[in-house]
Amino acid sequence: MIRALVIGKFMPVHNGHVALIKFAASKADEVIVSMSYTANDPINSDIRLGWIKEVFKNQPNIIPASIEDNFDDDTLALPERTKIWADVMRKAYPKIDVIVSSEVYGEPFATNLNAQHILFDADRKETPVAASLIRARPFTYWDFIPPVVRPYFIKKICFYGSESTGKSFMAQKMAHLYKTEFVPEVARELITSNDFTEADIIKIGYAQLDRISKKLITANKILFCDTDTITTQIYSQHYLKTVPPVLFELEKQVHYDHYFLFDIDVPWVADHLRDLGTEREKMFQVFKAALDERKIPYTLIKGDWTVREKTIVTKVNNLLQD
């Protein structure tokens, strides 16, 4: 049996990595994909290894593995440096017959491992991208990112504020404009009145996060979210006079790339859940204070619908350039 080894940080795994690993699989019976990691990596190692496993889940001859990068010495010349690598790899993995790489380290590394080196796309003509470029400008290189990796880079936008300020309308409109997904206010699917229980509010908290996770899979670069867990906390405090501690834990599980705080300078529209029309200013201040207490920056959305839309589009376009 011929066993190949591909090494890298895969931060993130991109289509160039995928092509390299598939090429290695065409040259060997088994491919070990060795992902190196440190505690200070900008992308968590468990997430990266999970991506590799998911991309190659239907190819049992490709074996993802991880190894702590605590043995390298980049002050050495490549022959000496890769000798250290080879010594570690011998202990970590079964006998390696082939090293497949696109890098200059490939030849000396293979020599030190008593293996053959096969070079792949050294000039990056097949996939002209690097992981560092993707981390810096993911949307510029979006087509080079595998679908399983894309949710990590999607910008999550929260439309936030009190009742009847246009959040739901604008979430749907922006999703249509940017050809992407939106997350509705899931509470409206689970309760029919404001006579709810603590169990209900906890269920709403979990359901909102679950919907975000599902929409991230199909979103296109940006995901518009109508409400967040802070909102759930605020309504729990208002109607139940308490906030279940689990809601504060759920709040930590989603990071929004930007908040839009919707002002109350639009007409009130009543419905079966809205009953705070006489407390609009008070509730607006409650919502604003919650962001200020957490030092969460936001863009205030006010004015007529045309002005509001223009403000949102300008900010979102800037975010998509990051």
What is the CATH T-level fold of the domain 3-144, as seen in this structure? Rossmann fold (3.40.50)
pLDDT computed for residue 259 by the predictor: 98
Strand 116-119 versus strand 98-101 pairing type: parallel
Closest by CA to 84, choosing from 93, 97, 74, 95, is 74
Residues 6 or more apart whose CB falls under 8 angstroms from that of 76 comprise 84
Average pLDDT of 133-144? 95
- CA separation for the pair 312, 308 (Å, rounded): 6
Domain with CATH 3.40.50.300 in the chain: 154-319
Residue 229, pLDDT above cutoff 60:
yes
3-state secondary structure of 114: coil
* pTM (predicted TM-score): 0.89
State yes or no: cis peptide before 12, omega within 30 of 0. yes
pLDDT computed for residue 283 by the predictor: 93
Domain with CATH 3.40.50.620 in the chain: 3-144
pLDDT computed for residue 273 by the predictor: 61
Q: What is the token pair recorded at 166?
A: 């246009």
pLDDT in tens, 175-198: 999 999 999 999 888 877 788 899
Average pLDDT of 55-75? 97
271 — pLDDT class (breaks 50, 70, 90): low
pLDDT in tens, 78-130: 999 999 999 999 999 999 999 999 999 999 999 999 999 999 988 877 888 89
- Can you count the helices (H) and strands (E) in the chain? 13, 10
Indicate the residue type of 4.
A
What is the CATH T-level fold of the domain 154-319, as seen in this structure? Rossmann fold (3.40.50)
Q: What is the token pair recorded at 272?
A: 């079966």
**φ and ψ of 299, to 5 deg:** -110, 125
